[in-house]
Amino acid sequence: MANHKSALKRIRSNESKRVLNKYQHKTTRNAIKNLRELTDKKEAQKSFSTVSSMIDKLAKNNIIHNNKAANLKSGLSKFVAAL
């Protein structure tokens, strides 16, 4: 167990950050899944821009790796273009 005040604060802040990161990551994964289920091209293009920005935010905050973000966006853009 932590003995210092700063260590106790670090434990609290890490937990709150972990919960927020988990929420953002799960929300993005659900959005990706919903995008892949679409069949209408116009709707998919509109959804792609929001999902793309969500992926960029995850990469910016180091929740996912930059290369993973690029791979996800590339695959989604190919999917939307093929509709």
As to burial, measured by CB atoms within 10 angstroms (0-12 exposed, 13-18 middle, 19+ buried), residue 25 is middle
24 within some domain: no
Q: What is the CA radius of gyration of the chain?
A: 17
Give domain status of residue 12, yes or no. no
- 27 assigned to some structural domain: no
C-alpha 20/C-alpha 36 separation (Å) is: 25
74, part of any domain? yes
Q: Is residue 73 part of a domain?
A: yes
Mind listing the pLDDT tens digit for each residue in 19-42?
999 999 999 999 999 999 999 999
Q: pTM for this structure? A: 0.85
Q: Do the domain assignments include residue 21?
A: no
Supply the range of the domain harboring residue 63.
44-83
Alpha helical stretches, state H, 1-83: 5-36, 41-60, 66-82
Confidence of residue 2 (pLDDT cuts 50, 70, 90): confident
Percent of the chain scoring above 70 in pLDDT: 100
